[in-house]
Structure 1
């Protein structure tokens, strides 16, 4: 199982804190600091637009950790207060907007004035003169992220597509099988049935063609049925294995992930890059996770099986 990825943002003056946080977090996560100079892992690429790079990073990482330190003195209602660098606050807002509150943490110096707009997010405070307090704050964040065993169902394209796929195909098929105590094919009634959802390990640009090629590896027969309340027939491939009827489906709706991600990313982002592949891989995982969670919630987890194809 892949390690979840964390982005660490800080001011340039406090890179030592970012590196200290990385040394703690990389035991359990894949960690990238904003100034990483290694091309494969760097957030800001040479000759690229910084804002475009940040937009890409907000999709590429699973969690965002921003370190707020006393970098700038500002006037606040007549008083002088210390606030983090503007770019740190901007990155915090960007990652919260893309990943959600539960996926972001703000580790801040106790001397900082905290804006009222961000008091609802996960905050961990430390004293700059007390190194153990910083370690404790980072460990707290690590536990927060680590305890999120898997991605929640959210509004990333994968989760939305998986929800629609479950509602429109898997849910009615499961209900039909239960209500009819199985399914009849060629005059034979099969009570032992299962729905197998075939998921590729990666997505090709033409997902429909990709699934047509995968279908050739199956000796299947197409069947259809009309489910109450639906304006059309449900059509699925089937195979008989050990006297069990296996419904096989290739969710071409996955093509929407490619489409959505390509539109969320800057126009100049290379869809053939390893970063893009990492984002797509994560979205496929979220698609699978969402289906499994919805199946569990509806007590269909014994009927639905996810199969990954190489």
Structure 2
């Protein structure tokens, strides 16, 4: 099974991406991290490449991290990078809810339309690994 992994390029997100990719490999699947060489060919639009990728993979994992500080309801909040949220929507629409999941680090603010979505909590590393393995095996 080919599994796309999307994240921001922050150091914490890239570290989480590597950890998730290692779990995917250990379970006998092929991780396809967003920063893999050649995944976004020169001259293509990123969104066009993402659409093409969504047609070629079996599942997707998007890593929501506390990447950007935003002013929200008279206070600051930390939220995932906009492109990661957009990518979740793109892969969700192509692959469906059972094959598109969120791994969340910290208390990143997520869009209200995603409230109630069960996610993998990367703050609890052992539980996160067990949860991902269970998902990969289902």
SS at match of 1:12: coil
Which of 67, 74, 83 pairs up with 2:70? 74
Gaps of 5+ in 2: none
Q: Say whether 1:32 aligns with 2:32.
A: yes
Matched, 1:134 2:125: yes
Structure 1 residue 136: Cα displacement: 2.9
Contact 2:24/2:136 (CA < 8 Å) preserved in 1? Answer: no
Q: Distance in 1 between matches of 2:133 and 2:40?
A: 24
Paired with 2:129 and 2:2, the residues of 1 have a C-alpha distance of 15
Match of residue 22 from structure 1: 21
Structure 1 stretches of 4+ moved >4 Å: none
Q: CA-to-partner distance for each residue in 1:197-216, whole Å, 9 max, x for gaps?
A: xxxxxxxxxxxxxxxxxxxx
Distance in 2 (alpha carbons) for counterparts of 1:111 and 1:34: 23
Alpha-carbon separation, structure 2, partners of 1:35 and 1:125 = 22
Write out per-residue CA displacement over residues 117-165 of structure 1, whole angstroms, 9 at most, x where no aligned residue: 11243311232xxxxx235314312312321xxxxxxxxxxxxxxxxxx
SS in structure 2 at match of 1:98? helix
Q: Within 5 Å, which residues of 2 pair with 1:109-120?
A: 109-120=105-116
Q: Which has the higher contact order (CA 8 A, sep 6+)?
A: 2
- Cα 1:120–1:100, aligned 2, differ >3 Å: closer, same or farther? farther
Aligned 8 A contact 2:105 2:121 in 1: yes
Aligned length: 135
- What does 1:87-102 correspond to in 2, within 5 Å? 87-102=83-98
- What TM-score comes out, normalization by structure 1 length? 0.41
Unmatched tracts of structure 1, length 5 or more = 128-132, 148-310
Task: Give the structure-2-normalised TM-score.
Answer: 0.89
Q: 2:9 aligns with which of 9, 12, 21?
A: 12
Q: Secondary structure at the match of 1:48?
A: coil
What whole-Å deviation, never above 9, does each CA across 1:265-303 have from its counterpart, x for those lacking one? xxxxxxxxxxxxxxxxxxxxxxxxxxxxxxxxxxxxxxx
Cα distance in 2 for partners of 1:45, 1:138 equals 32
Larger radius of gyration: 1
2:66/2:106 contact within 8 Å kept: no
Q: Shift in Å at residue 65 of structure 1? A: 0.2
1:139-150 aligned within 5 A: 139-147=130-138
Contact 1:104 1:121 in 2 (8 A): no
Q: Deviations over 1:212-266 (max 9, x none)?
A: xxxxxxxxxxxxxxxxxxxxxxxxxxxxxxxxxxxxxxxxxxxxxxxxxxxxxxx
